[in-house]
Structure formats: structure tokens, C-alpha cells
Amino acid sequence: MSDKFRVGILGATGVVGQRFIQLLESHPQFEVTALAASDRSQGKTYAEACTWRLPGEMPDAVRQIAVQAPAPPLECDFVFSSLPGDVAKQTEEEFARAGYPVISNSSPHRMGADVPLLIPEVNPEHIALIDIQRTSRGYDRGFIVTNPNCSAIVVVMALAPLHAEFGVASCVVTTMQALSGAGYPGVASLDATDNVIPFIGGEEEKIEAETLKLLGRLGNGRIEDDRMLVSAQCNRVNVTDGHLAAVRVRLSRPASLDQVRETLASFVSEPQRLKLHSAPAKPIIVRDEADRPQPRLDRDAGKGMSVTVGRIARDKVMDYRLMALGHNTIRGAAGAAILNAELLMARGYL
Ligand code: NAP
């Protein structure tokens, strides 16, 4: 018998669900044993229910797994959730109440006062909220942990080292977000081709709110939001994968351009020290070429888990500006949740 943790995936047939399956194919600690999706897919094998849309073949190990309803009990030790927001809220609570750790990508629980919104490199100490959540909700073994919005994670990975070193007083973000961020089939081709859509429902609010919680301090059993000012504008662009963000920051303490660059380039944190399986050696890769980062060239850096930062320069209105890029379905979704699970395992929460 395998000594790996048995993993269930809720929303297993979707864009993020398929990434989970791909990334977990040869994971040393986790093994996929249960899959769930909508009633369109339930009762079919995964091979019948899922049109595989990632490069390479659907892994053999999941082809014959029967797709079930996303309701406990499932044959697994914990679940990853990539359900649509409206389904995730209640379903994830049901799993947590039934004793399953829920490691979610979906948005409904992210801003819950007792729910860790976790980036292992940025705020690993927020895991302590799990104990408070279990007590306040009467959960026994179960809990809910979330990863941030797929653009917020890219922006906050770049802000966190600068904030720790120099303090970020304010930040203006403009995103250029990939089509896969909208799920499948997502944006209609006639809307996306030859076009930029300057609206992604709820996205600007998520970036502005989640950034403050992610960089907030844990004290007295709650997260006190950071006080920096954040302004975000979001655009959908005709790129398959990879969210790019133009970021301008005003710093609280003076810093030279070399110091800013070095602070980003040398950043390592808890996942690198613990050598977690999915942790990239370099969470932030700084590129000095004038025309990087680019989605097609840089989204797979660090197996999709590194954020690439370039165009670091002084700014005439704010203090500094830079471009940050991350893979939205890996660092922004499935990979982020898997890294969260690896940290939770290392800390004894699974
Ligand atoms: P998607 O491609 O539309 O997939 C949705 C998945 O949920 C499918 O497996 C679908 O199953 C299942 N589902 C839909 N309605 C359901 C219902 N009523 N009951 C049970 N299962 C249901 O979406 P996605 O892009 O993977 O996104 C999934 C979640 O992750 C969303 O909350 C999204 O906001 C979040 N997220 C996405 C990204 C990204 O880059 N795409 C990044 C971060 C977070 P069927 O195939 O059976 O319909």
C-alpha cells in the first residue's frame, strides 16, 4: 500500500482541475484517489468526462477514476478545490465539517477572518488561523485554507520582499491577464481576438483587498490588514497563459535601484528553506533584458512556480516601477494550492 496522502480534487475536469492532475502525476507525497465535478460529469470515468486540454496525455492513473459529486465522503485524506465560486462556498464548508482539510483556489472563503489566505513564501505564519478556525467553527480534523487570486499572488510575490525591506506605502497595479484565467471555454474568441477587454468582474476588488490581508500581521488571533494603498486595473489580453502586471510603488524608506533589484533577486523564504517539493529554487527571477518578462518566454520559469520581474526602474510619479509575470494556472492556482498543502504537511496539519 502507498504511504502517500490520498488526495481528492473538486472541479477536477476544469482548467485548474486538469493542472492539479498534471502537477500531481508524480508527486512524492500526494496521490490522486478521488475526483469530483458537476452532474454533467458524475458517473463517468475521468477519461470520458474530461476533454484534456493540456499538452501531453492525460495521466493513466486517473483515466479510470469515476467522477463523483463534490460531497463528502470521498475516498481521500484531504481535498483540493477548484470549484466555481458559487458552488465552492457551501461545498468547502461541508467537507471541512466532515473532517477534510480543504485547500482551495476558489474565492468565497479567502477573506474570511479565520481563514488563512496563504502564500508560503510571504505569510507562512498565517497558518496559525487554522487553530482559531477549528475552535470557532467546531471543526475537528477539517479546515479551509485558500490561495489568493491569480493576479494578486503575482503582485504580492513582487511586493513582499520590498515591503519587508523598505516598506511599500502605496502601489498602483495594471494587469494584462491571460485567457485561461477565465476557465474553459472562457472568453468568446470573437471578443478576445484582436482585442483587449478592460474589465474582469471582481478582479480589481480582489487584488486590492487580498494584497492587504496577505501582507497583514497576525496578532491577537486575527489578521490586521496592511495599511498600504493599493489601486488595481485589470485587462483581459489575447494570451493563453501567464498574467503580466505593471506595478508602481512608493516606498516608506529610501532605496537605491541596486538595492531594489538585489532585494528581489535574492529573495528566498520558508518553502526554499524547507525544500518543499513544489518550491522553486528562486521564487523571484529578475531579468535585466529590456524586453522581459514576456508571457510566452517566462511563464514556465521555475516549472511555472517562479514570478519573473523585469523593467525595474525609477519612476517619476512613484518611486519605482517594474513588470511582474506569473503562470496563472500554476503559481496562480493549482501549483499555489499544492505548495500550500506541502507547507501544511511539513507543519503537521494534514
Ligand atoms: P472551469 O474550467 O470552468 O472548471 C470548473 C470546474 O468546476 C469543472 O470541473 C466543472 O465540472 C466544475 N463544476 C462546475 N459547476 C459545478 C457544480 N455546480 N457542481 C460541481 N462542480 C461544478 O474553471 P477554472 O478556471 O478551472 O476555475 C475553477 C475555480 O478556480 C474558480 O473558482 C476560479 O475562480 C478559480 N481560479 C481559476 C484560475 C485560472 O487561472 N483559471 C486561477 C485561480 C483561481 P464539469 O466539467 O462537470 O462542468
Question: Is 76 in the active site?
Answer: no
What is the Å distance from ligand 1's center to 66 Cα? Answer: 18
In angstroms, the Cα distances linking 117 to 7, 99, 104, 206 are 21, 20, 10, 12
Angle (deg, nearest 10), helices 203-214 and 150-166: 40
CA distance 137 to 323: 41
323's grid cell:
513588470
Cell of 196: 483587449
Active site residue 50: no
Whose cell is 518611486? That residue is 319
Measured in Å, residue 63 CA sits from the centre of ligand 1 at 19
Pocket probe mutation, ligand 1, options 53, 82, 92, 104, max atoms within 8 Å of Cβ: 82
9, 10, 13, 16: residue to mutate for ligand 1 pocket, most atoms within 8 A of CB: 16
Q: Whose CA is nearest to atom 16 of ligand 1?
A: 38
Q: Contact, 284 vs 309, CB < 8 A?
A: yes
- Please list every protein residue whose CB sits less than 6 Å from any atom of ligand 1: 11-17, 37-38, 40-41, 70, 82-85, 87-88, 105-107, 150, 180-181, 183-184, 328-329, 332-333
Per-residue CA distances from 338 to 10, 61, 105, 226, 236 (Å)? 14, 18, 10, 26, 26
pLDDT tens digits, the chain, 350 residues: what are they? 579 999 999 999 999 999 999 999 999 999 999 999 999 999 999 999 999 999 999 999 999 999 999 999 999 999 999 999 999 999 999 999 999 999 999 999 999 999 999 999 999 999 999 999 999 999 999 999 999 999 999 999 999 999 999 999 999 999 999 999 999 999 999 999 999 999 999 999 999 999 999 999 999 999 999 999 999 999 999 999 999 999 999 999 999 999 999 999 999 999 999 999 999 999 999 999 999 999 999 999 999 999 999 999 999 999 999 999 999 999 999 999 999 999 999 999 99
| Pick from 278, 283, 296: nearest CA to 336 | 278
